[in-house]
Amino acid sequence: MGMCCSRHNPESGRPLVYHQGYKMHEVMEIGGHMNSAVGGGGGDPRYTADPNRPLGSLQVKRQGVDIIRTPTTPFHPNCTRSRIVVAIYNYQSREAEDVSFVKGDRMEIIDDSEPDWWRVRHLRTGDEGLIPWNFVAEEKSVESEDWFFGTVSRKEAEKLLLLDENPRGTFLVRDAEHNPHGYSLSVKDLEENRGYHVKHYKIKPLDKGGFYIATSQTFPTLPALVTAYTKNALGLCHVLARPCPKPKPQIWDLSPELRDQWEIDRNEILLIRRLGHGNFGEVWYGKWRNNTEVEVKTLRQGTMSTQAFLQEAAIMKKFRHDRLVALYAVCSKEEPVYIVQEYMKHGSLLEFLRNGEGKHLQFGDLIYIAAQVASGMAYLEVKQLIHRDLAARYVLIGDNNIAKICDFGLARGIEDDEYCPRQGSRFPVKWTSPEAIVY
């Protein structure tokens, strides 16, 4: 953790970590000009931040969203020593420009100037190419440990640990929510009267370095503490049996080739199964280049002008948050226009609750879904974007009840009475934001 290449937060004394979905240049821009981060150039006046609103409040709100993050400590640009990262997930290359690797592989950083894709040399194969930055961590750092989950919230930790496949003693370590220098240990336990549940322990720092849970047992490093409790419970509810499996982080581009362009050839998209239809057109399950799962929206002819669509899609492409569906690409040169986005296997929240596995969800699970939607909406609010149509049909559900908001921008350009209400016309009042109703 104390390498010369780490960036540090002067207030906390701990490495300043940028998380998946949060580009470094965007973090800087929030403290400066909000519209430069959103609209680019002169920006669209619809997305200009309120001049009477203190920018400090935006910054606090940005840091407070509860999303699963994969910590990766950026390297200092002036560092002269060899910079080695270790893979914490498997990755299969998608084109000639990127490099495949498996968990545990070591790579040397050649260029980390791009926010999403780093150029590396694979130390085992000698291959050079691009890799997704959030699939690796600095070698021998705490972020490279299987059990370290960074700033995952207490509730998120419980959700991950309580998955059926995790036995008693499954654990993870995360940043403490109220102590900038400490950590929390979360462990899955089983009791006859309570069933499976999660216990949380505070890991406190020592003034002269090191950590402890109980004052009678102190350890020089965080890995030393974890290793000790994997051998003996030492007062914990259970010996630490195995690290909790980590969800793979989000990749925001179909490939590094498409990181700067997102108009793609529609021949690369294979439509496999129709999932449904809605106000915008049909929705299909498909594959990009026959290997990457995607969801494809086909816009009805005449639904909206191509220019209006591209304007909104450009804005959608720039918004990145783990509770927003990733927009990968578009095919707009022919009708019907394709919107290619992240595939969520359980479909819309509406169908999930009415006809899917969601019919049997417990109250806590419903609260969990609602909290995720609120987290995504809080991010859109910081970006000064009004969804206009937040209905259950525009929330998609993936594995483990992960919820993400989609179509956050399309309603603005639809040429339809429901979305462009005129005097005497109908509109979906239950789902329309107060700002849009007044307008």
Residue carrying the six token digits 């997704």:
132
pLDDT of 22 higher than 80: no
Tokens of 265: 């050839």
What does the pLDDT average to over 294-309? 78
In sequence order, which residues have a C-beta less than 8 Å from that of residue 166 and are 6 or more positions away? 188, 244, 245
313: phi then psi, degrees, rounded to nearest 5 = -65, -35
Cα torsion 156, 133, 407, 48: sign: positive
Axis-axis angle for helices 154-161, 363-382 (nearest 10): 140
10: phi then psi, degrees, rounded to nearest 5 = -65, -25
Give the residues across from 128 on adjacent strands. Answer: 121
What is the number of residues in the chain? 439
User: Is residue 389 among the annotated active site residues?
Assistant: yes
Q: What is the mean pLDDT of the chain?
A: 79
CB atoms < 10 A from the CB of 439, how many? 10
Q: Is 136 helix (H, G, I), strand (E, B) or coil?
A: strand
List pLDDT tens digits, range 27-49.
Answer: 333 333 333 333 334 444 433 44
* pTM of structure: 0.72
252: phi then psi, degrees, rounded to nearest 5 = -90, -5
* 209 φψ region: left (φ > 0), alpha (ψ -120 to 50), beta (else): left
List pLDDT tens digits, range 45-61.
Answer: 433 444 444 444 333 33
User: Lowest mean pLDDT: which of 24-33, 140-149, 205-214, 218-227?
Assistant: 24-33
171: Cα within 13 Å, side-chain hemisphere: 22
Give residue 426's pLDDT: 67
Domains of the chain, earliest start first: 84-143 (2.30.30.40), 145-243 (3.30.505.10), 256-342 (3.30.200.20), 347-437 (1.10.510.10)
CB-neighbour burial class of residue 394 (10 A; exposed 0-12, middle 13-18, buried 19+): buried
Higher pLDDT, 333 or 172: 172
CB-neighbour burial class of residue 61 (10 A; exposed 0-12, middle 13-18, buried 19+): middle
Q: How far is 189 from 170, CA to CA, in rounded Å?
A: 8
Q: How far is 154 from 157, CA to CA, in rounded Å?
A: 5
In sequence order, which residues have a C-beta less than 8 Å from that of residue 288 and are 6 or more positions away? 254, 264, 268, 269, 270, 294, 328, 329, 340
- Residue 115 banded pLDDT, cuts 50, 70, 90: confident
List pLDDT tens digits, range 341-376.
Answer: 999 999 999 999 999 889 999 998 999 999 999 999
List pLDDT tens digits, range 77-98.
Answer: 455 568 999 999 999 998 889 9
**Dihedral, CA of residue 296, residue 299, residue 304 and residue 305, to nearest 10:** 80
CB atoms < 10 A from the CB of 317, how many? 17
List pLDDT tens digits, range 314-350.
Answer: 777 778 898 999 999 999 888 888 989 999 999 999 9
pLDDT of 435 higher than 90: no
Give residue 79's pLDDT: 52
User: Strand pairing of 211-212 and 195-205?
Assistant: antiparallel
pLDDT of 103 higher than 70: yes
Task: Spot the catalytic one: 105, 389, 407, 416.
Answer: 389
Q: Is 28 helix (H, G, I), strand (E, B) or coil?
A: helix
